[in-house]
Amino acid sequence: MYVILKNEKIAENTYEMRLAGDTSEIARPGQFVNVKIDGFFLRRPISVCDYEDGEITLIYKVVGGGTEKMSRLPAGERLDVLTGLGNGYDLAASGQKPLLIGGGAGVPPLYFLAKKLVAQGKEVSVILGFNKKEEVFYEEKFRALGAKVSVTTADGSYGVKGFVTAVRPEHTYVYACGPEPMLKAVYGAYEGGGEYSFEERMGCGFGACMGCTCKTIAGNKRICKEGPVLKKEEIVW
């Protein structure tokens, strides 16, 4: 059980929640938690945006009844949360100039990743993609880490007009997280190695129900267990 310390709106339909509780199972950026919401059968998988000893930061988008109810939970409320799920990103693969690309709800896990890579002395570039200005969040937080940040909006209301592939910084490796059409576009646009975090509807969140399997060159993998991060060379579109 975790206690809500903060649950505030930070952009259109987007909320930041900070929880107090056990963080010992969180090992790598890109892992996620599974949150139980009273009145809903399935848990909600949400990427870990950041953590420190005893506290977890989550950013989530309101997309249905479960996350809408979650957005109304006050500080002090207790939540049943499974933590340390998924495989996460491999920091050792980054090279000196890693490029982090996030689209919408795929942005949060990249913050934790950027923090780790900057701490290793890497020259981190970040591309944040949104539909419009009102959806933009965490731009300044990434800059505060020391990352070079570009923001794209599909309607051109903020930053560079277009999708994340409209910006092409020099890079040694790509880390991406976002909706599948974005990941597929990034896959085709950027050369070199990379890791892509996929979104799938999940039942259990820890590999028991086999409900979130996807095809790879090595056979079917469970996005919640062997994923959500897949290496570029194993992806089958």
Q: How far apart are CA 235 and CA 93, in angstroms?
A: 17
Q: What percent of the chain has pLDDT over 90?
A: 85
Q: How far apart are CA 8 and CA 22, in angstroms?
A: 22
User: What pLDDT shows up at residue 19?
Assistant: 98
Question: In this predicted model, what pLDDT tens digit does every residue of 173-223 receive, in sequence order?
Answer: 999 999 999 999 999 999 899 999 987 677 777 777 777 788 899 888 888
User: What pLDDT shows up at residue 215?
Assistant: 84
- For the segment 141-155, the average pLDDT, to the nearest whole number, is 98
User: What pLDDT shows up at residue 174?
Assistant: 98
Buried b (16+ CB within 10 A) or exposed e, 93-129: ebeebbbbbbbbbbbbbbbbbbbbbbeeebbbbbbbb
Question: In this predicted model, what pLDDT tens digit does every residue of 38-94 receive, in sequence order?
Answer: 999 889 999 999 999 899 999 999 999 999 999 999 999 999 999 999 999 999 999
As assigned by CATH, the class of the 2-85 domain is mainly beta
User: What pLDDT shows up at residue 212?
Assistant: 77
In the chain, beta strands by DSSP E: 2-11, 14-20, 32-36, 44-52, 55-61, 78-85, 98-103, 125-130, 148-153, 160-161, 173-177, 194-197, 213-216, 219-222, 229-231
Is omega for the bond preceding 98 within 30 degrees of 0, making it cis? Answer: no
User: What pLDDT shows up at residue 207?
Assistant: 74
Specify the CATH number for 91-199; select among 3.30.465.10, 3.40.50.80, 3.40.50.261, 3.40.50.1110. 3.40.50.80
User: What pLDDT shows up at residue 128?
Assistant: 98
45 exposure class (CB count in 10 Å sphere: 0-12, 13-18, 19+): buried
Where does the chain have alpha helices with state H?
A: 65-71, 108-119, 139-145, 180-189
Judge whether 236 and 220 are in contact, CB under 8 Å. Answer: no
Cα–Cα distances in angstroms (integers) from residue 207 to residues 26, 125, 144, in the given order: 17, 33, 36
Sign of the Cα pseudo-torsion (124, 129, 133, 136, in order): negative
Sign of the Cα pseudo-torsion (235, 160, 144, 190, in order): positive
Mean pLDDT of all residues belonging to the chain: 94
- For the segment 127-154, the average pLDDT, to the nearest whole number, is 98
User: What pLDDT shows up at residue 214?
Assistant: 83
Sign of the Cα pseudo-torsion (140, 45, 118, 195, in order): negative
DSSP 235: B
Domain ranges of the chain: 2-85, 91-199
3-state secondary structure of 82: strand
